[in-house]
């Protein structure tokens, strides 16, 4: 596990506190385990810091004052911040380290787990086999531990991702959404098996996970998903092929530019822009020039992704007789943020009052292109 002790203890403390059905009773049990006088325990549980003023100052004082704040908060005072309860576990653990005779009683009083963060990760892994609410809470917790590099959490997540057949689909997809945390080559067979199971509700996430990990053996299976009846799956397949920059998929992605669902069309265009190359660019140009879809801004954005090589052609398009094509050229030129584009955009913004098929002005598209270009240029300059 990476060396983030403070972060580990904060996460452990928060998850430990969230598991308490009776937080005040739990806090009182922790205080009693310190062996301090019952009067000090009563004073802290009253929620009044002034009642602790006469208590002897020792290593447990911070724990007692924290519990007093918690008591005041839970009793509706509202004066203290609500996260104080998450500090009780780490403070008790720290006190047990400073005073070893107290470590056992404090560990028992903390409840599950008495052995610190590692045993809580064990609990979360076991909870993946319980009811749905508990499973979802457990996967979220394991992902938080994985962010801190906890080896047991990483192993549990790897086990989840390796076999979709044994997992709740929501748990499985949550894990795959963060697969970069725990990825390695051993996951490839399980992910390919999941990808081939086209009836599985998580097949979209299988495709994206394979793409994120660069598993090129998945390309034929992902390409086949472009014909899936679910538009979400088709969209995910487009995204995955774009991430893989798979040249062999250009032909199949071209068909999706005419998909019945607009966001699949948009994702297909974006994927072609990511893949790049002469074939992909030619496909995008042809689709834009044919204007089968009046809302073709996604095509303009994809063409803009090719950068400087397309700027001159886009500038030439701003003189086309068709106002729709001039408007699309403006949007694409703005996204390139190229110096050469600015004079053409400024000219159209000032003079082109022709209307597009959707009723907008070419001048408005040019102004939007200018704003986009200036925003990109300002962001580039700041970085």
What pLDDT sits at residue 114? 60
Q: Is the previous residue joined to 85 through a cis bond, with omega within 30 degrees of 0?
A: no
- Let me know how long the chain is: 383
Does position 293 have pLDDT exceeding 70, yes or no? no
What is the CATH code of the structural domain delimited by 295-383?
1.25.10
For residue range 258-273, list pLDDT tens digits in order.
999 999 999 999 999 9
Looking at the chain, which residues constitute the CATH 1.25.10 domain(s)?
Answer: 295-383
pLDDT at residue 239 in the model? 98
CA dist 220 and 273 (Å) reads 20
User: Is residue 338 left, alpha or beta, with left meaning phi > 0 and alpha meaning psi from -120 to 50?
Assistant: beta
Residues 6+ apart with CB under 8 A from 278: none
Strand partners, 355: 361
Reported as a pLDDT band with limits 50, 70 and 90, residue 1 is very low
Q: Is the pTM of this model over 0.75?
A: yes
Q: Kindly state the average pLDDT of the residues 31-42.
A: 91
Q: Band the pLDDT of 295: cuts 50, 70, 90.
A: confident
Is the CB of residue 78 less than 8 Å from the CB of residue 49? Answer: no
- Say if residue 252's pLDDT is above 50: yes
């Amino acid at each position: 596990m990476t060396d983030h002790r403070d972060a580990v203890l904060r996460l452990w403390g928060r998850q430990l506190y969230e598991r308490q059905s009776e937080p005040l009773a739990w806090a009182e049990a922790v205080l009693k385990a310190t062996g301090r006088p019952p009067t000090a325990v009563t004073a802290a549980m009253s929620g009044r810091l002034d009642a602790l003023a006469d208590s002897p100052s020792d290593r447990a004082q911070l724990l007692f004052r924290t519990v007093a704040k918690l008591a005041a908060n839970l009793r509706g005072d509202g004066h203290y911040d609500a996260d104080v309860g998450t500090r009780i576990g780490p403070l008790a653990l720290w006190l047990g380290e400073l005073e070893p005779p107290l470590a056992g009683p404090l560990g028992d009083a903390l409840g599950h787990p008495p052995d610190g963060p590692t045993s809580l990760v064990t609990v979360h892994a076991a909870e993946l086999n319980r009811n749905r609410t508990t499973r979802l809470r457990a996967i979220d917790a394991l992902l938080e531990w994985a962010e801190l590099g906890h080896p047991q959490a990483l192993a549990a997540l790897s086990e989840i991702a390796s076999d979709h057949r044994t997992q709740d689909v929501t748990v499985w997809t949550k894990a795959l959404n963060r697969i970069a945390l725990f990825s390695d080559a051993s996951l490839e067979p399980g992910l390919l098996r999941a990808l081939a199971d086209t009836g599985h509700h998580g097949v979209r996430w299988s495709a994206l996970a394979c793409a994120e990990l660069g598993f090129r053996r998945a390309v034929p299976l992902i390409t086949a998903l472009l014909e899936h009846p679910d538009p979400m799956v088709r969209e995910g397949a487009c995204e995955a092929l774009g991430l893989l920059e798979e040249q062999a998929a250009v032909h199949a992605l071209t068909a999706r530019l005419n998909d019945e669902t607009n966001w699949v069309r948009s994702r297909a265009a974006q994927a072609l822009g990511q893949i790049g190359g002469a074939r992909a660019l030619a496909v995008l140009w042809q689709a834009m020039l044919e204007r089968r879809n009046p809302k073709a801004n996604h095509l303009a954005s994809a063409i803009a992704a090719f950068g400087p090589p397309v700027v001159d052609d886009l500038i030439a398009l701003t003189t086309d007789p068709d106002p729709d094509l001039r408007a699309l050229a403006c949007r694409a030129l703005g996204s390139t943020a190229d110096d050469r584009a600015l004079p053409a955009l400024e000219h159209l913004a000032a003079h082109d009052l022709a209307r597009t098929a959707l009723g907008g002005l070419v001048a408005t598209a040019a102004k939007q292109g200018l704003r986009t270009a200036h925003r990109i240029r300002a962001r580039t300059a700041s970085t």
